[in-house]
Amino acid sequence: TQLLEQSPQFLSIQEGENLTVYCNSSSVFSSLQWYRQEPGEGPVLLVTVVTGGEVKKLKRLTFQFGDARKDSSLHITAAQPGDTGLYLCAGRPYGQNFVFGPGTRLSVLP
Amino acid sequence: GAGVSQSPSNKVTEKGKDVELRCDPISGHTALYWYRQRLGQGLEFLIYFQGNSAPDKSGLPSDRFSAERTGESVSTLTIQRTQQEDSAVYLCASSLRGQGPGATNEKLFFGSGTQLSVL
């Protein structure tokens, strides 16, 4: 049983389109992180959110942590081929290590 | 080096053989993690080291799996009597975690992983 669910599992879009991917759980987290992983590489941290309702922006990426600290979303504006990769969310239950979701595999076509 | 280094990058072995995977964390990083990533899937936690101790080994899938860390630096993950279901990418990460469990702003730095194929 997955502690964290991510949707969609796969997403293929054209360059310039907007998209949102979701990370959901029935558990409460002290913090939540988003990573991007490219083929043959390890995940690279994009953002950490720690406050319920928090919104963080990183250039064309907007991250939101749910008010109840159980879910998060990642919105990408005007996607580019360089955004292609596996997007992983990782939630930290209180007092425990991070738990990773299964990921959303994004493909942005030129 | 500047980043987390893992070796070998690829390992092909025969079923039943033992393998050792190595991780060199970023210098000074107190915490070290091992994860397993099966093809097309997310990361499965295996073990966490704080210094040379492993306070959380809950993710090791069987007693064929073991890991150690020495000198608060290099870590080795050993898989004995490998089986085909062990085929996966094994990722190592390190961090400056020093505030005990639940350090909310902990940033993990990952290596590129070892691709293990058991024939």
Test A95 with B108 for CB contact under 8 angstroms: no
- Quote the domain boundaries for residue B75: 5-97
Test B4 with A41 for CB contact under 8 angstroms: no
CATH number of the domain within which B85 lies: 2.60.40.10
Tens of pLDDT, residues B20-52: 999 999 999 999 999 999 988 889 999 999 999
> B65 in a domain, yes or no?
yes
- Picking from A42, A44, A88, the nearest residue to B42 by CB comes out as A88
> What is the reported pLDDT for A95?
81
> B103 in a domain, yes or no?
no
> What is the reported pLDDT for B39?
87
B106: distance to nearest CA of chain A, Å?
A: 9
CA distance A110 to A104: 19
Tens of pLDDT, residues B65-113: 999 999 889 999 999 999 999 999 999 999 987 555 456 678 899 999 9
Beta-carbon contacts of residue A84 (< 8 Å; ≥ 6 apart) = A38, A106, A107, A108
Strand A10-14 and strand A104-109: the pairing is: parallel
Token pair for residue B109? 């730095």
Tens of pLDDT, residues A16-73: 999 999 999 999 999 999 999 998 999 999 999 999 999 999 999 999 999 999 999 9
> B107 in a domain, yes or no?
no
Q: How confident is the model at residue B2 (pLDDT cuts 50, 70, 90)?
A: confident
Test B104 with A102 for CB contact under 8 angstroms: no
- Reduced to 3 states (helix: H, G, I; strand: E, B; else coil), residue A108 is strand
> B54 in a domain, yes or no?
yes
Test A99 with B93 for CB contact under 8 angstroms: no
Q: What is the residue type of A22?
A: Y
Taking 70 as the threshold, does the pLDDT of residue A2 lie above it? no
Which domains, from first to last, does chain A contain?
5-109 (2.60.40.10)
Tens of pLDDT, residues A64-104: 999 999 999 999 999 999 999 999 999 998 888 889 999 99
Beta-carbon contacts of residue B99 (< 8 Å; ≥ 6 apart) = none
How many domains does the structure of chain B reveal? Answer: 1
- Closest residue in A to B45 (Cα) is A99
How far from the centroid of its chain's Cα atoms is residue B86's Cα?
13
> B112 in a domain, yes or no?
no
> B20 in a domain, yes or no?
yes
> B109 in a domain, yes or no?
no
